Copies of this chain bind each other. A is one copy, B any other.
């Protein structure tokens, strides 16, 4: 039951993928034009400026990730929640050549407008607060280990995961992502 995607949806999807591959300054309307099969002027019809495009891309991406987080069964033990979360990061790697869109845009932030910064910040905060709850649960259960406040532990964990996808792609291996996961799991 695959629904046909509108041109607008196709553009947005390809824009997200291209940015995860090459960053904001590493792709052009022309790239999108060739991928979708419409002229660049048609893309400007939907997204007047590149800033508009990247902002909508972040919002779509964020929405997808948020939905995935809400889909995680709350009844699960915390270590299994973390496993699912790490697996999500593994999926963003794709064929080993992509990183998290918001990690990428955080790197590109020096060339992006304030509106995008705020959207990326919101993504970071949402992920960190979700992880903070999981860590708090895990400590109570004894399935995870975290030192200090769950909030600062969560910021560290999220940073480690962002850094690890970067390294995983750099070295063509998923092992670095697994290193991080293991570091927060209690040994039985």
User: Which A positions have Cβ atoms within 8 angstroms of B?
Assistant: 21-23, 25-26, 97, 99, 103-104, 106-111, 117, 120-121, 124, 145, 147-148, 152-153, 155-164, 166-167, 169-171, 176, 179-180, 182-183, 187
Given A23-B107, A179-B152, do A124 and B167 touch, yes or no (CB 8 Å)? Answer: yes
9 smallest CB-CB distances across A and B, nearest first, come from A159-B163, A25-B25, A163-B163, A160-B160, A107-B107, A162-B163, A152-B179, A22-B110, A159-B164
Contact between chains at A110 and B179 (CB < 8 Å) = no
Give, as a whole number of angstroms, the nearest-CB distance from A58 to chain B.
Answer: 13
Contact between chains at B25 and A121 (CB < 8 Å) = no
In the complex, the count of this chain's copies comes to 2
C-alpha spacing A183/B183, complex, angstroms: 12
C-alpha spacing A97/B110, complex, angstroms: 7
Contact between chains at A153 and B23 (CB < 8 Å) = no
Contact between chains at A111 and B160 (CB < 8 Å) = no
- Measured between beta carbons, the chain B residues less than 8 angstroms from A99 are 107
C-alpha spacing A26/B108, complex, angstroms: 8
C-alpha spacing A114/B153, complex, angstroms: 35
A159: contacting residue among B145, B155, B176, B182, CB under 8 A:
B176
- Measured between beta carbons, the chain B residues less than 8 angstroms from A25 are 22-23, 25-26
Contact between chains at B166 and A117 (CB < 8 Å) = no
A183: contacting residue among B108, B111, B153, B171, CB under 8 A:
B153
Contact between chains at A182 and B110 (CB < 8 Å) = no
Closest to A19 in B: B110
Contact between chains at B148 and A183 (CB < 8 Å) = yes
- Measured between beta carbons, the chain B residues less than 8 angstroms from A171 are 121, 124
